[in-house]
Amino acid sequence: MTNIPAAAPVAGAVPLTMRAAAAASPGPAGQLVDATVPSPVRVGSEVLVRVVAAGVNPVDAKTRAGRGVAAAASWPLVPGYDFSGVVVESPYAAFPLQPGDEVYGMTAFPRTSGSYAEYVSVPALNVAPKPRVLSHLEAAAVPLAALTAWGAVVDLAKAHEGQRMLIHAGAGGVGHLAVQFAAYFGARVTSTASGPNITWLRELGASAVIDYTAQRFEQTASDLDVVIDAVGGDTARRSLGVLRPGGQLITLPSADWPTMAADAAAAGVRATGFWVTPDATTLAVIGRLLTSGDVRIRVDTVLSLDEAAAAHRLVEDGHVRGKVVLKVSDY
Ligand SMILES: NC(=O)c1ccc[n+]([C@@H]2O[C@H](COP(=O)([O-])OP(=O)(O)OC[C@H]3O[C@@H](n4cnc5c(N)ncnc54)[C@H](OP(=O)(O)O)[C@@H]3O)[C@@H](O)[C@H]2O)c1
């Protein structure tokens, strides 16, 4: 039998209870209040992290409202996938991440409680070293949005030189990273956004930006290889019509569109949904692009943990430029 080296705890570092933002039951943003909840207990290959900042994503708000991933969540609900923080306990002495290391990643929410809390215990495969050039507030904005953008643009669409790609909601958390990844790999990017975001998206690498408040995107977009849709609904459906024969629609919001595959086939194109996967290896690659400056993360608003309800209202309003982040503790 092999002896497993002992974990590397920091004695007394984790109190039995911790501060969190929690919702007692599904409902509007005001359900999220300051709460004291049990601290997580690290097991197996998990890494226990003291959270400095938590990124806010639309799925957090949808879940709090009883949608999103609420079917698998338990209440009181502590939402939150994204975190940046400092390792407090790691699985064993030779594990690459050790107490004191700065890390970022995704929690196992909704199977465990989320990152709107002082501590999270996360699977080792969900956590990567934080890029040094990023503050914790910036790093917490990255994981879910960047892994989604990468999954759609690089893994599914296989972004490459000359590929014609339309990215809806280019100014959002996912969109502004998707535009940059696509441009980095040489795609010719068109994006949709409202007027005030047009110049910024051009700076990020979009060669054309359509102001969706002033015109329908079909008026100028056509014969595209790929559409990445971060809006859903009518925007997703109309996107089938701007693809070239055999082109692909990748739609990110969980769509109530049971006939999607049949509608795409009837239009002579392909369509798929997508679900983000926590992935430390890809996060490390993304971290290198953030470090080199080839890709930038934009934090729109920073709020404190006790302002989590306000953060959800902002995200639900649907016009965040980049990301909203909660400052959980001092670093
Ligand atoms: N399946 C997955 O794994 C996955 C992962 C991540 C996200 N998602 C989903 O993808 C969607 C986007 O996520 P996100 O984090 O990027 O959201 P977000 O940051 O909240 O998106 C906000 C952005 O949407 C833009 N926008 C709103 N309506 C628009 C429209 N009709 N056309 C073009 N742009 C529009 C806004 O730009 P303006 O201010 O210029 O209007 C704003 O910048 C959400 O539904 C989210 O739940 C799914």
Please report, for the domain that includes residue 36, its CATH number.
3.90.180.10
Least Cα distance to 313 among 32, 24, 115 occurs for 32
Mutate which of 319, 321, 324 to test ligand 1's pocket (most atoms within 8 Å of Cβ)?
A: 319
> By the 8 A CB rule, do 290 and 133 touch?
yes
pLDDT score at 181: 98
Classify residue 99: in a domain, yes or no. Answer: yes
Residue 268's CATH number: 3.40.50.720
Interstrand relation of 323-327 and 299-304 (parallel, antiparallel or unpaired): parallel
What is the gyration radius of the CA atoms in the chain, in angstroms? 20
CA of 39 to the centre of ligand 1 (A): 32
How many whole angstroms from 85 Cα to the centroid of ligand 1? 26
Q: Which atom of ligand 1 is nearest to the CA of 176?
A: 16
User: Which of 123, 144, 157, 134 has the alpha carbon at shortest distance from 43?
Assistant: 123
**322: helix, coil or strand?**
coil
What predicted TM-score, i.e. pTM, was given to this entire model? 0.96
Distance from C-alpha of 227 to C-alpha of 141, rounded to nearest angstrom: 24
For the Cβ of 318 lying below 6 angstroms from any atom of ligand 1, the answer is yes
149 lines ligand 1 (CB under 6 A): no
- Of 150, 179, 212, the residue with max ligand 1 atoms within 8 A of its CB, to mutate for a pocket test, comes to 212
Q: How many CB atoms lie within 10 A of CB 25?
A: 10
Interatomic CA distance for residues 167 and 30, integer angstroms: 32
Same domain for 301 and 268, yes or no, is no
Q: Let me know if residue 71 belongs to a domain.
A: yes
Give the closest residue to 18 by CA, choosing from 49, 39, 47, 40.
39
Q: Report the alpha-carbon distance of residue 33 to residue 308 in Å, rounded.
A: 7
Statement to judge: residues 164 and 134 lie in one domain = no
In a domain, 207, yes or no: yes
d(CA 276, CA 256): 18
Cα 326 vs. chain centroid, distance in angstroms? Answer: 14
Q: How far apart are CA 272 and CA 324, in angstroms?
A: 28
In a domain, 285, yes or no: no
At 78-134, the pLDDT tens digits run 999 999 999 999 999 999 999 999 999 999 999 999 999 999 999 999 999 999 999
Is 95 in the same domain as 128? yes
Mark whether 23 and 133 lie in a shared domain.
Answer: yes
From ligand 1's centre to the CA of 100, what distance in Å? 34
Q: How far is the CA of 177 from the centre of ligand 1 (A)?
A: 12
Q: Is the CB of 63 under 6 A from ligand 1?
A: no
Note the pLDDT tens digit of each residue in 217-246.
999 999 999 999 999 999 999 999 999 999
Two structure tokens written together for 241: 């019509």
Phi, psi angle pair for 87, to nearest 5°: -65, 135
241 and 155, same domain (yes or no): yes
Provide the pLDDT for residue 163: 98
pLDDT at 31: 97
**What mean pLDDT, rounded, does the chain reach?**
95
Tally of domains within the chain: 2
Q: What is the mean pLDDT of residues 1-30?
A: 75
Q: Which uninterrupted H or E stretch holds 123?
A: strand 119-123
Are 36 and 56 part of one and the same domain?
Answer: yes
